[in-house]
Amino acid sequence: MLLSDRILFLDGEAIVLDKPAGLPVDPPRDGSLSLENHLDSLRFGFKRWPLAVHRLDRDTSGCLLLARNPKAHGRFTRAFEERAVDKQYLAILDGVPESDGGTIDLPLAKISSAEAGWRMVGDPHGTQRGKAAVSHWEKLATVEGRSLLRFRPETGRTHQLRVHALEGLGFPLVGDPVYGLGNSATRTLLHAERLVVKRDPKPPIIAEAPFPDAFVALGFTEPAGAAPTRG
């Protein structure tokens, strides 16, 4: 697998990569390959390896931003922290919500146990010191009891869309082994469709990742167009 063939955006300070599903961003404990093993091929003439600015789950495919120098990494990191980055995701739900769209405002907290490990849960009343998490969504299509949704998260909490789908809409993402009916042989069907990072006075970073084959295999087709960027 050549990640250099999956570049969506490239200039002197940024790379946006179409991350394949199954590739973790950080080195996993089991010692399997991660993004780090491919960084040398993503230098494109620079001496430094690029650095990931944010994280996508191992199963999640699509737009991943890398910074090509430390100053750019700092600016991009602040943009994510200040919610100045427009992110759009596509997901397939194991069910069909009644409405066509809306907003999920559900804080998230991390819980863990020796038996089950850790996971994120909704914390609507703040009893577990959950952090604010907001996701806008719209239903794009339905096929055989499943639905294709576009999510536009305002925040970037761990497993945010996976938990918001389950607890906010009542259905898990197809293939999710933690919050749904998936297992070690399935993939959580979540795809980072579009990423926009403003860089005044420079032109913004704009990247869109191709519609995944795994979505096509379930009978879904690429949506007609990306949703408009927030002003």
What pLDDT, in 10s, does the model give residues 129-155?
899 999 999 999 999 999 999 999 999
Task: Give the C-alpha separation, 182 to 22, whole Å.
Answer: 14
Residue 218 DSSP class: T
pLDDT given at position 127: 85
Residue 117 reports pLDDT greater than 60:
yes
Task: Give the C-alpha separation, 78 to 72, whole Å.
Answer: 10
- Percent of the chain beyond pLDDT 90? 81
Q: Residue 159, by phi and psi: left (phi above 0), alpha (psi -120 to 50) or beta?
A: left
Token pair recorded at residue 132: 């604010």
Task: Kindly indicate the confidence band of residue 116, based on its pLDDT and cuts at 50, 70 and 90.
Answer: low
Please pick, among 11, 26, 57, 94, the residue that the annotation labels catalytic.
Answer: 57
* Domains (range + CATH), the chain: 3-216 (3.30.2350.10)
Helices (H), 82-204: 160-163, 169
pLDDT given at position 126: 81
The one-letter amino acid code at 94 reads D
- Clarify whether 105 is annotated catalytic: no
pLDDT given at position 229: 47
3-state secondary structure (DSSP) of residue 160: helix
Contacts of 165 (CB under 8 A, 6+ apart): 91, 93, 149, 171, 172, 173, 179
Q: Residue 45, by phi and psi: left (phi above 0), alpha (psi -120 to 50) or beta?
A: left
Q: Comparing 7-16, 25-34, 96-105, which segment has the lowest mean pLDDT?
A: 25-34
Give counts: helices (H), strands (E), the chain.
4, 12
